[in-house]
């Protein structure tokens, strides 16, 4: 219950300890562990939330099938010395008469994830605002793998004057470069073997852009290479690393390359800085 969470949270606060929140949807892997370790370095106490948020899944998406590994997650969190696990029920987060939605603009309308998952950022913004209000952490840690999400949440926290500082954590990769994701478990052996192409192409594109090749040419080659590796591409884009505005040249500011592509039934996203 939220009231119990508040008591727990207040006890920690009255001891003048700083609190970090790491919001997750469970199915924890090494990527989450690295967020938690970063949170532990930056704060005295760490809260991890586990909530598979129905509001960020469209009816045709994988909410029902999304991996749920609660017992294993709790064991992993105990091993990481997490101080509090907040795992609210759906009815706690969204009671039957729930009637409020946060619909973010700005980075949430960059034409990246929002173009393919139009419902997504309203679901994320609403649940993250609730988690930040419920847990009232000093900092909240989010992975850079969901780069647009990180920017949307940072803007949300700023725009709503939330007191929590939003901290981005670097992507954790498998040895072959594939970004860690709870959805990687969906990949068949053949798809898993092809999947590192996404990261490889991103890094090749970043190197070419850094070497001065025209961004549009580099992206065109990158899109072809991703299709050749067996992916159906949603987007491969070069954007300003902060605003997510389209970047046509390195003069347009620090650049982030972002990709989303489907292999079989699994949709993967990744990004790198130039």
Q: To which residue do tokens 């469970």 refer?
A: 26
Contacting ligand PAF (CB under 6 A), which of 124, 125, 225, 260?
Answer: 124
Contacting ligand PAF (CB under 6 A), which of 35, 39, 77, 127?
Answer: 127
Q: Is 32 a catalytic residue?
A: yes
If one asks whether residue 128 binds ligand PAF (CB under 6 A), the answer comes out as yes
Residues that bind ligand PAF (rule: CB under 6 A) add up to a total of 10
CB burial class (10 A; 0-12, 13-18, 19+) of residue 96? exposed
Strands 139-143 and 84-86: unpaired
If one asks whether residue 53 binds ligand PAF (CB under 6 A), the answer comes out as yes
If one asks whether residue 107 binds ligand PAF (CB under 6 A), the answer comes out as no
**Whole-number CA gyration radius for the chain:** 19
Contacting ligand PAF (CB under 6 A), which of 9, 21, 23, 48?
Answer: 23
- At residue 78, φ and ψ (nearest 5 deg) are -65, -40
If one asks whether residue 88 binds ligand PAF (CB under 6 A), the answer comes out as no
Binding mask 149-168 for ligand PAF (x = CB under 6 A): x-------------------
Q: Which region, judged by CB under 6 A, interacts with ligand PAF, from 65-73, 123-131, 163-171, 197-205?
A: 123-131
Say which of 29, 32, 119, 240 is annotated catalytic.
32
Report d(CA 106, CA 116) in Å as an integer. 16
DSSP string over 18-47? -EEEEEE-S---HHHHHHHHHHHHH-SEEE
Name residues whose C-beta falls within 8 Å of residue 28's C-beta, 6 or more positions apart in sequence.
Answer: 69, 72, 73, 76, 77, 182
Residue with smaller CB distance to ligand PAF, 121 or 231: 121
Q: Are 238 and 213 in contact (CB under 8 A)?
A: no
If one asks whether residue 25 binds ligand PAF (CB under 6 A), the answer comes out as yes
Q: Are 7 and 135 in contact (CB under 8 A)?
A: no
Residues 56-75 that bind ligand PAF (CB under 6 A): 56
Instruction: Indicate which residues carry an active-site annotation.
Output: 32
Q: Which residues sit at the interface with ligand PAF, rule CB under 6 A? A: 23-25, 53, 56, 124, 127-128, 146, 149
């Amino acid at each position: 219950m939220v009231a119990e969470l508040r008591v727990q949270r207040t006890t920690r606060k009255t001891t003048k300890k700083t609190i970090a929140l790491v919001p997750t949807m469970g199915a924890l892997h090494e990527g989450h562990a690295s967020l938690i370790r970063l949170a532990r370095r930056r704060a005295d106490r760490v809260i991890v939330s586990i909530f598979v948020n129905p509001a960020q899944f469209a009816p045709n998406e994988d909410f029902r099938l999304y991996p749920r590994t609660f017992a294993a997650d709790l064991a992993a969190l105990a091993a990481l010395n997490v101080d509090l696990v907040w795992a609210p029920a759906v009815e706690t987060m969204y009671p039957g008469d729930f009637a409020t939605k946060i619909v973010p603009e700005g980075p949430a309308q960059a034409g990246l994830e929002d173009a393919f998952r139009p419902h997504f950022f309203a679901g994320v913004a609403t649940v993250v605002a609730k988690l930040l209000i419920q847990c009232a952490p000093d900092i909240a840690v989010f992975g850079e793998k969901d780069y647009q999400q990180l920017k949307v949440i940072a803007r949300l926290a700023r725009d709503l004057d939330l007191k929590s500082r939003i901290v981005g954590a670097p992507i954790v990769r498998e040895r072959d470069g594939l970004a860690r994701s709870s959805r990687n478990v969906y990949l068949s052996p053949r798809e898993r073997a092809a999947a590192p192409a996404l990261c490889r192409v991103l890094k090749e594109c970043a190197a070419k852009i850094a070497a001065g090749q025209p961004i549009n040419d580099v992206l065109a080659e990158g899109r072809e290479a991703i299709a050749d590796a067996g992916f159906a591409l949603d987007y491969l884009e070069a954007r300003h690393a902060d605003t997510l505005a389209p970047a046509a040249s390195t003069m347009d500011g620090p650049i982030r390359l972002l990709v989303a592509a489907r292999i079989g039934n699994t949709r993967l996203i990744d990004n790198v800085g130039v």
